[in-house]
Each structure stands twice: as C-alpha cells, then as structure tokens.
Amino acid sequence: MINMQRVYFATGNPHKVEEAKLILRDYNVELMHLNTQRVEIQSSDLVEIAVYSLNQIVKDFKQPVFVEDTGLFINSLNGFPGPFSSYVFKTLGNKGIIKLMKGEADRNALFKTVIAFKESDRDQIKIFIGETLGLISEEIRGVGWGYDPLFIPLEGDGRTYAEMSLEEKNLLSHRFKALKSLGDYLRKV
C-alpha cells in the first residue's frame, strides 16, 4: 500500500474541508482538519491575509499545514467584495449581492483561492493560487454554501456551483485548482 502523506488544513469551515479531502485523496494526501477560527487581518490582498493566518497557526503547530483565503471578485463592482467576501456574505448575503447587481448587464466575476502552506517550521511558506471565471446569476439557484448559489462557472454548463454535485464542483472550482497545484508540489517533494 502506498503511504499517504498527512497534511493539516486549518480552517473553521467544514465545507472547505469536505471539498479538499476528496481532491487531495487523488494526490495520496490524507487531509486532517485542524479546526481553528482564524485571526483574519483586513487587507486588500488575499496572499497577505493567508500568510498572516498561517503564521499565527505555525507558532504552535509543527506539522505540514495550510490555510486558504478565498474571494469573489465581481467585475461591475470593481472587484468587490474580493478580500472582504466573508464580511459581505455575513452582512449582505446572496440576496444583497443580487440587489446590488439588479439591472447590471456585466455579470462577470472571478472566484480566487490562495493557499499558504508550510511543511515544517523551518520551511518557507509556499503559495498556491486557483481561479475560476464565472457569471453572477440573477437569482439564487440551488442549495449550497456561501456564494455557491450565485456563481455560474464559465467552464460549466450554465448551472451554479450549488446546482452541481460536490464531485462536479471539484472538477473546475477555484479551490480545486489551488489544491491541484499543492498536490502536484507535494508529489515532487
């Protein structure tokens, strides 16, 4: 039997863990959930947010570990909510985004995930990025977490992430692409 490599994902979000477990299994990575509530700095840069969070965690955790920060960047709103996606989801929610976008012809958006990974406390932080282009739907479609009911990936068939199965989302999502880069990196080391 091939030995699985154990890597920890520090997050308070069980949906992210569920997605990542399935994706990383194909890379022989046994994903462990390190349940943490992140200290998130306000910054306009996802990389800066992820690196800050990881540095907080590795102070007392010495195993291979990563954090990720994700943002939804909407074209017609000049990239808003972007790095503020978590706060905007809590305050405006999907209904609020739909209201903001009412009558807007340009529905283009980008979902971006930044992973910050550290193998051990002696190593440099490695960054892996995944991006998926899409459209913001005009109404909530499907049952899913976060912005999934609003986001229609361009690589898909017109359904929102929330209308897809977990496996379907995992073939084209921003998170899949970032985790694929991490998986490829881990295969080589």
Q: Is 69 a catalytic residue?
A: yes
User: How far is 132 from 43, CA to CA, in rounded Å?
Assistant: 22
Residues 6+ apart with CB under 8 A from 29: 4, 5, 6, 7, 183, 186
Q: Does 43 bind ligand IMP (CB under 6 A)?
A: no
Q: Which of 26, 69, 106, 123 is catalytic?
A: 69
DSSP conformational letter for 125: P
For ligand IMP, the binding residue among 53, 70, 132, 137 (CB under 6 A) is 70
Q: Does 163 bind ligand IMP (CB under 6 A)?
A: no
Q: Does 86 bind ligand IMP (CB under 6 A)?
A: yes
Q: Toward ligand IMP, which CB reaches closer, 137 or 173?
A: 173
Question: E strands along 28-107, which residues?
Answer: 29-35, 65-74, 81-82
Q: Toward ligand IMP, which CB reaches closer, 86 or 181?
A: 86
- Considering only 54-62, 128-136, 143-151, 179-187, which stretch makes contact with ligand IMP by CB under 6 A? 143-151
Q: State how beta strands 5-11 and 65-74 pair.
A: parallel
Residue of 54, 22, 15 lying closest to 149 (CA atoms): 15
Q: Toward ligand IMP, which CB reaches closer, 121 or 138?
A: 138
- The binding site for ligand IMP (CB under 6 A) comprises 13, 69-70, 85-86, 89, 145-148, 161, 173, 175
